[in-house]
Structure 1
Amino acid sequence: MTIRALFDLGDERGVLRISIAVTVFVAAFGIVFGLLSRSFSIMFDGVYALVDASMSLLALMVVNLITSYATATRLSRRLRERFTMGFWHLEPMVLGLNGMLLIGVACYALINAVGSLLAGGHDLKFGFAIIYAVVTFIACVTISVVETRANRLIGSDFIRLDVRAWIMSGGISAALLVAFCVGYLVQGTAWAWISPYIDPAVLALVCLVIIPLPVSSVRQALSEVLLVTPADMMASVEEVAESIVKKYGFESYRAYVAKVGRARQIELYFIVPQGTPARRMEEWDAIRDEVGDAIGDDTPDRWLTVVFTGDPEWTE
């Protein structure tokens, strides 16, 4: 595989590979400059980026599994036999784990920041800190813009969450840059006493800001893991089902709908009146095709089951 294909901006996996590469660079850069500047906030930024990189790598593995299953390529027979329902369920699990880990890291850093403030803060080398903040801010802005443009065509939840993470990282870098510049400027002045408190104070502030941000992603992932039915999706499916019942004189229907990651799982059971004249199999299949066309979005990520029965117990 060529470098261009490996980092293809038109492919979800290529975008995630770019994100992982930049994240690893930012993480290593942050840890090194955190040690050089003696800054806890920079160390936190590096560790935060490292956690995000590991989650992006896990997301990339899940995307490869989902794509391989949907396209029937590069997937071993053993995996296909063990996961006959596909790998879509892994997507919300990874998104939820990502959000919870980021929240956990931020909470831990907040506790350390408060402890440092109560202990009187600590000195740091503002020159190294400013260099770090400038470089990482430029990297965060650049990658978030690149991913946002790429995702307009791809429409990936993974990339959308990754963009949000880069925006958060950019906000952290901007806050660090402002704080470090203030700390550098007050050196040798009457306000020099505040410099030991700048690093833990900005770390605490950043943690308070970013802790709530992944909550919506965790909530959405949890609802998909629990197979909570999306109201708008159910309304659309019920509209199609009601039209089919009316058109063909069925008694009623039962609809079961869930969204799991990028997958839409739909099961429709039509109750046929007792004594209905027999239809050829081709006719039943034609009705199924009509239902599928009306529901739309006929992609490898749509799992549609249409059943006809005269016994309502089969629909429960």
Structure 2
Amino acid sequence: MGLASGSSAIVFDGIYSVVDSGMTLLALLVSHLILRATSAGRAGRRLGERFNMGLWHLEPLVVLVDGFLLVAIAIYAFVNGVKGILAGGQAVELGPALVYAAVTLVVCVTMAVFGRLRNRVLVSDLVALDTKGWIMSGGVTAALLIAFAIARPLRGSDWEWFVPYVDPLALSVVALAILPVPLRELAQAVREVLLVTPAALRAEVDGVAARVTREQGFLGYRAYVAEFGKATQIELYFLVPPGAPPRPLEHWDALRDAVGAAIGGDERHRWLTVAFTADPEWAE
């Protein structure tokens, strides 16, 4: 439709939507695999045997690819829009362009509502990102619909000279407006892929570990935390005084349970290790 109407903005919207739809299918597949891997059935056990550390790492990888592609498309569209303005604009068949924008807007709104309702059950960052993508696509299409609707009555008027600039101007403005959204998602995905320590989670774990250290008379602790997708990985090493009197294993297990309960979170998506040692090298 973009080629038929001569609209670069519609071509951009189409490419953006195709990429977003492809990533939607991938996101749903990954979410389904993660749910199966954490289930108690036969499929969950098979996936657990094959992927002992879980499949949570797939979420930030998918978000990373999605964010990179959308950022690249938006930047390319903005540059083309500016070049179109400098070249004197572009003639567009407004009739087909208006029909496309109206139909696409209905589809985007429907998919955004469906995604939000579905994610109430899945609670997935991937599905949330996909829903944001449909909202962004709907915003892009709505902006194009408004721009073409304004341009149509300008034909035959004193402002007809402005009509060829509507398409490249709309393309540049829309591409620039949506760019911050995939940039934020891309930055978050990069932090998760690189296992950058999340400050809020680290502060929460430090608070629990410091309290346990005081109450149990330990010498100190070492904490290592990471977050990827909706999963968290936490490793805690408590430094026990050398020569401390021995205690039953049940005592240490009960203390681990208390630490886990204090940290909280969904146990299905939490990898928690709590160890006790008198040798600081084991905690480094």
In the alignment, is residue 220 of structure 1 matched against residue 188 of structure 2?
A: yes
Unaligned runs of 5+ in 2: none
Give 3-state SS (helix, strand or coil) of 2:181's partner: coil
Q: In the alignment, which residue of structure 1 is the partner of 2:31?
A: 63
Query: Which residue identity does 1:312 align to in structure 2?
Result: P
- Which moves more between the two structures, 214-223 or 241-250? 241-250
Whole-angstrom distance in 2 between the partners of 1:191 and 1:162: 39
| Counterpart among 223, 229, 233 of residue 265 in structure 1 | 233
Shift of 1:118: 2.8
Shift of 1:35: 3.0
In the alignment, is residue 178 of structure 1 matched against residue 146 of structure 2?
A: yes
Aligned length: 283
Shift of 1:82: 5.1
Whole-angstrom distance in 1 between the partners of 2:127 and 2:50: 28
Whole-angstrom distance in 2 between the partners of 1:139 and 1:152: 21
| Counterpart among 126, 147, 157 of residue 125 in structure 2 | 157
- Which moves more between the two structures, 254-263 or 194-203? 194-203
Shift of 1:308: 0.9
Shift of 1:182: 1.9
Decide whether the 8 Å contact of 2:27 with 2:127 is kept in 1.
Answer: no
Decide whether the 8 Å contact of 2:71 with 2:182 is kept in 1.
Answer: yes
More relative contact order in 1 or in 2 (CA 8 Å, sep 6+)? 2
Q: Deviations over 1:254-273 (max 9, x none)?
A: 11111111111111111111
Decide whether the 8 Å contact of 1:254 with 1:270 is kept in 2.
Answer: yes
Q: In the alignment, which residue of structure 1 is the partner of 2:158?
A: 190
Shift of 1:112: 2.2
Q: In the alignment, which residue of structure 1 is the partner of 2:90?
A: 122
Q: In the alignment, which residue of structure 2 is the partner of 1:234?
A: 202
Decide whether the 8 Å contact of 1:292 with 1:298 is kept in 2.
Answer: no
Shift of 1:298: 4.0
Query: Which residue identity does 2:151 align to in structure 1?
Result: G
Q: In the alignment, which residue of structure 1 is the partner of 2:72?
A: 104
In the alignment, is residue 199 of structure 1 matched against residue 161 of structure 2?
A: no
Query: Which residue identity does 2:20 align to in structure 1?
Result: D
Normalising by structure 1, we get a TM-score of: 0.83
Whole-angstrom distance in 2 between the partners of 1:49 and 1:267: 41
Decide whether the 8 Å contact of 1:151 with 1:160 is kept in 2.
Answer: yes
**Superposition RMSD in Å:** 1.9
Whole-angstrom distance in 1 between the partners of 2:231 and 2:87: 51
- Which moves more between the two structures, 293-302 or 144-153? 144-153
Q: In the alignment, which residue of structure 2 is the partner of 1:295?
A: 263
Whole-angstrom distance in 2 between the partners of 1:211 and 1:190: 34
| Counterpart among 6, 13, 18 of residue 50 in structure 1 | 18
Q: In the alignment, which residue of structure 1 is the partner of 2:179?
A: 211
Whole-angstrom distance in 1 between the partners of 2:212 and 2:158: 79
Q: In the alignment, which residue of structure 2 is the partner of 1:137?
A: 105
Q: Deviations over 1:26-83 (max 9, x none)?
A: xxxxxxx223322111111111000011111221222122222222542585x64553
- Which moves more between the two structures, 274-283 or 151-160? 151-160
In the alignment, is residue 89 of structure 1 matched against residue 64 of structure 2?
A: no
Q: In the alignment, which residue of structure 1 is the partner of 2:276?
A: 308
Give 3-state SS (helix, strand or coil) of 1:124's partner: coil
- Which moves more between the two structures, 207-216 or 109-118? 109-118
Whole-angstrom distance in 1 between the partners of 2:118 and 2:53: 29
Unaligned runs of 5+ in 1: 1-32
Shift of 1:202: 0.8
- Structure 1 segments of 4+ aligned residues over 4 angstroms from their partners: 79-82
In structure 2, do the counterparts of structure 1 residues 179 and 100 end up closer, same or farther at CA, with 3 Å as the change threshold?
same
Identical counterparts, % of pairs: 51
In the alignment, is residue 279 of structure 1 matched against residue 247 of structure 2?
A: yes
